[in-house]
Amino acid sequence: MPVIAPMPAARPARIPSQRDGAEADNAAAAGTTVDHLTETYRAHYRSLLGLAALLLDDTASCEDVVQEAFIRVHSARKRVRDPEKTLAYLRQTVVNLSRSALRRRILGLKLLSKPMPDMASAEEGAYDQLERDSLIKAMKGLQRRQREVLVLRYFADMTEAQVAETLGISLGSVKAYGSRGIAALRVAMEAPA
């Protein structure tokens, strides 16, 4: 995704005097100067924006991160003793701020309330309850072994071999009891109540 950055306005160059040279030496000893930071901004704004674009996905966030990086380095410019390291500090600040932005996004996504599942209407709930009641009644009408096989096979989600092992009967018996039990359930469920 291309990132379009505004070009900083150019300032007219001024001719330094001898007095300015002495002030620049004192300022350089105290840290990065505002002028050096301004020049760094002009020269490297787009490359820092590109770095942020590699880490973030939208232009507005990239611009915010780069601007914040410049603000932070500007306020801590006295701690940047070597003006040559200003760009390195800016790059690291852009990376750190991008990471923080991504962490906030991830946390925000985790904290978003999940949408409620589609709820059944009261009529559907009542109909489901009637079907469950009739199924339970029909299950009670089955032979004990048929009921055991169907419950283990379909409600406990066991395989036929697991049902045979659990009940201590053969695999053929599990198939026979299951088949007869399902047929009996169909008859019981279709019969008028």
| Domain-wise residue ranges, the chain | 31-111, 139-192
What is 31-111's CATH number?
1.10.1740
- According to the model, what pLDDT value does residue 28 have? 43
Q: CA–CA separation, 167 vs 149, rounded Å?
A: 8
Q: CA–CA separation, 39 vs 159, rounded Å?
A: 74
Q: CA–CA separation, 32 vs 88, rounded Å?
A: 13
Q: CA–CA separation, 176 vs 185, rounded Å?
A: 14
- According to the model, what pLDDT value does residue 193 have? 56
Per-position pLDDT tens, the chain of length 193: 444 545 454 454 454 554 555 444 444 445 678 888 888 889 999 999 989 988 888 888 999 999 999 999 888 888 878 888 888 889 999 999 999 998 888 888 777 766 666 766 777 778 888 888 888 888 888 999 999 999 999 888 889 999 999 899 999 999 999 999 999 999 988 876 5
- According to the model, what pLDDT value does residue 106 have? 84
Fold topology of 139-192: Arc Repressor Mutant, subunit A (1.10.10)
| pTM for the structure as a whole | 0.45
Here the tokens at position 13 are: 């160059």
Q: CA–CA separation, 67 vs 139, rounded Å?
A: 71
Here the tokens at position 167 are: 């009940």
- According to the model, what pLDDT value does residue 113 have? 65
Q: CA–CA separation, 158 vs 2, rounded Å?
A: 56
